Amino acid sequence: MSLDDDRSSTLTLLDDYFKRDLVAIMIDTGPDSKTNDELKHRAKSVLSEMGSTITSVGPHGLRTSDLLDAMMEGSQVAGLSSGVRYAAAAIIAAYQKGEASKSSASELIKLAHDWFSFFLWPCMLSSLFASRYSESSESEFTPTPRASDVSADTVPATSQGSRFRNLINERDDKCVVTGTLNIQNGPYPPGTEGREVLLRATHILPRFVVHEHSGSNVTHVAATIDIIKHFTKLPENILDDLSGIIDNPENGMLLDATMHDTFDNYMWCLHSTDILHKYKVHWFRPVPMGMGNFTEVQFQDNSQTDIQLPDPMFIALHSAVAHILHLSGAADVINKVHDAFFDEGSTVPFENRASLEDFLIRLSLIELTTSKHQLATDPHGI
């Protein structure tokens, strides 16, 4: 299925005028090319000019200007220059698309809605449904390898998961942040008692992002991959086989349960340093008790069999998403809706609860039952 075959108004499926403008603005060579700083300055001027005319992203009170600005700022903090350029260019292109018909505000709101729905929301799925989604249930998900040709992978997801776990365990050997030993690799020498726990092979780029499941629209998955394509400028060979690479060791690391769950929830991320494969741990909340001394991660291959280390681009992408979620307030919006509707007693089947359509309906329900675009703090008072 080709993105161009669909006529919906998602970001990656907008008309040729928008796509032509976006690509032209993003070009970074030639006499008319602009630097990232110049594009960012112009995009911020657009947001300042539009002011109060761009209010919220859909019916849930997330400010359009906050989300659009966070796409640029979050990318910059994460060191993802391609994300800064893409976000700024898309803001400018959306503004220009609406200039003739004086509908720039509407185009910018659509842009923010698409980034929320097809980029941030899929990235949050892995954490929101962690309690119901495990590698044992990966067979419910069908890989979707490319944005231009969405089709099923011939390798069962359960086999991919087992291979992923084994390679990450062999390469990292222990929690890459805390140094906690993997109990599965024991027994260890005397004196290590109490330092052995069951560790988890953690995906950096969540599987939900590129794997279709029974409650999803295939085009939505393709749109997500297409956004990642522009946001990261990953090589075409990687993008064409993203669903295969998602379970490769370059997209994983070994973590203990606390670090795994908080990483999936975007409570912390890794910032690159001047040394390849060495990172600083950055928390978005007060550092948990006992974690204050664990400030750096140095990846290395402990297997001695040349297992690939985590791809810096995947780490930068996770970092950018984490910063965008927190800077824009999108993380709070998604978490509040999840807390209000997706409890353990829900009668909605899991595969439907994971769908974008179901989530947006619930966002609308919250809007209908609350005032002044504020989310209810008490789900039982809705």
Report DSSP letters for 335-360, one per residue.
Answer: HHHHHHH--TT--S-HHHHTSHHHHH
Partners of 142 in beta bridges: 212
Structure tokens belonging to residue 339 = 């807390």
Whether pLDDT at 371 is above 80: no
Whether pLDDT at 246 is above 70: yes
Q: State the average pLDDT over residues 46-59.
A: 79
Q: How much is the pLDDT for 363?
A: 55
CA–CA distance, 374 with 366 (Å, rounded to integer): 9
Q: How much is the pLDDT for 117?
A: 85
- pLDDT tens digit string along 9-38? 445 444 566 778 888 898 877 777 899 999
pTM above 0.85, yes or no: no
Whether pLDDT at 148 is above 70: no
**Lowest-pLDDT range of 130-134, 260-264, 308-312:** 130-134
Whether pLDDT at 49 is above 90: yes
* Sequence letter at residue 278: K
Q: What percent of the chain is modeled with pLDDT above 70?
A: 68
**Lowest-pLDDT range of 56-60, 162-166, 253-257, 372-376:** 372-376
Q: Could you tell me if 213 and 142 are in contact, meaning their C-beta atoms sit under 8 angstroms apart?
A: yes
Q: What percent of the chain is modeled with pLDDT above 90?
A: 41
Whether pLDDT at 6 is above 80: no
Q: State the average pLDDT over residues 307-321.
A: 97
Cis, bond preceding 187 (omega within 30 deg of 0): yes
Residue bearing the bigger pLDDT, 335 or 291: 291
- pLDDT tens digit string along 263-289? 999 999 999 999 999 999 999 999 998
Phi first, then psi, for residue 87 (nearest 5°) are -60, -45
Q: Which of 20-34, 88-102, 211-225, 353-367 has the highest mean pLDDT?
A: 88-102
CA–CA distance, 103 with 375 (Å, rounded to integer): 28
Q: Specify the residue for token string 């260890």.
A: 188
Q: Could you tell me if 331 and 124 are in contact, meaning their C-beta atoms sit under 8 angstroms apart?
A: yes
| Reported confidence tier of residue 136, pLDDT bands at 50, 70, 90 | very low
- pLDDT tens digit string along 56-81? 665 456 889 999 999 999 999 999 99
Phi first, then psi, for residue 297 (nearest 5°) are -130, 125
